Homo-oligomer: A and B are copies of this chain.
Amino acid sequence: MPHPFDPGYVTEPFLTLCADYPEANVYPPEQFRLEWGPIFHCGRLDGSARVLVIGQDPAQHETVVRRILVGEAGRRVQGLLAKLGITRSYVFINTYLYSVYGSVRAKTRKAPALIDYRNRWLHALLVGRQVEAVLSLGKAADEAWQRWKATPAAQSVNVAYAAMTHPTQPESSSKGDKTKLVAATKKLLQNWNVALQALSPSLHHVDVSTPLVLYGENWGDGDRVAIPESDFPAGLPAWMHEQDGWAKRVGANDLAKRRTITITVPKGIVP
């Protein structure tokens, strides 16, 4: 059975963007996990994208796969895109190239070199392309969009836009409190329903024509969708895109945790 894969960075300007990127002078190692390298994107770089998603920063699954939004947040975003009829014609970039460690200081977030590099990606993906809708996930991603919108090149680009709650905000804000998690999930899904209704009329070219079905009060069947195999680099095993929780940061202390990622093949795969 053939296994379609993402060929990655094969044409300009992406070849240059992935060879020459901001490092420690722009992303302070106290605020970002520079030691794992930058992780650039996920999805279509060939101009076929109709939806652009701006995420926040990569986590451990993204570090192994070298594509963004391939863990739990990614599954939820794939579910959202499916509701819009977008199953392939998307491209994702993040606000930050590196995984955030702790929190990001305002000075870092506003550093011109950080913004300029990200704007080069947005320019490449939007100017003269056929994107019809842009989504941002979380406040930093919304700010990234606003900063690009203020550039001269952005004035020629007319797309629908929705600032959305980050897909795993309910988990991070509720910190293990189940009642809070239920309430935050309900609030997120209301927010996502508003975004779906705002963007849906602007999407004139979709992969699968589908009536818009809004979210309920909690995640329902089919609201989480596996990352397509074709988003992954060549040769990665099926469980990496079908399952979650296989990459963990483990260690006896903060430094050991920061230095370690353990990959565990899920149960039932090894004979």
Contact = CB atoms under 8 A, between A and B. Distances in A.
A271 to B, nearest CB: 5
Contacts of A5: 9, 18-19
A262 interface: yes
A5 B15 CA distance: 9
Nearest to A260: B264
A35 interface: yes
A17 B7 CA distance: 13
B263 A18 contact: no
A161 interface: no
Nearest to A20: B2
A13 interface: no
A10 interface: yes
Q: Label chain A's interface by main secondary structure.
A: loop
A40 interface: yes
A259 B268 CA distance: 10
B235 A38 contact: yes
B262 A29 contact: no
Contacts of A15: 7
B30 A4 contact: no
A203 to B, nearest CB: 29
A35 B260 contact: no
Nearest to A40: B235
Contacts of A23: 1
Contact of A239 (B29, B35, B240, B263): B35
Interface string A18-46: 11110100000110001111111000000
A3 interface: yes
A237 interface: yes
Interface in A144-177: none
Nearest to A15: B7
Given A5-B19, A19-B5, A270 B29 contact: yes
Contacts of A260: 262-265
B18 A234 contact: yes
Nearest to A262: B262
B7 A20 contact: no
A237 B30 contact: no
Contacts of A1: 20, 23
Query: Nearest 7 CB-CB pairs, A to B?
Result: A37-B237, A18-B234, A259-B265, A2-B20, A29-B271, A10-B10, A37-B235
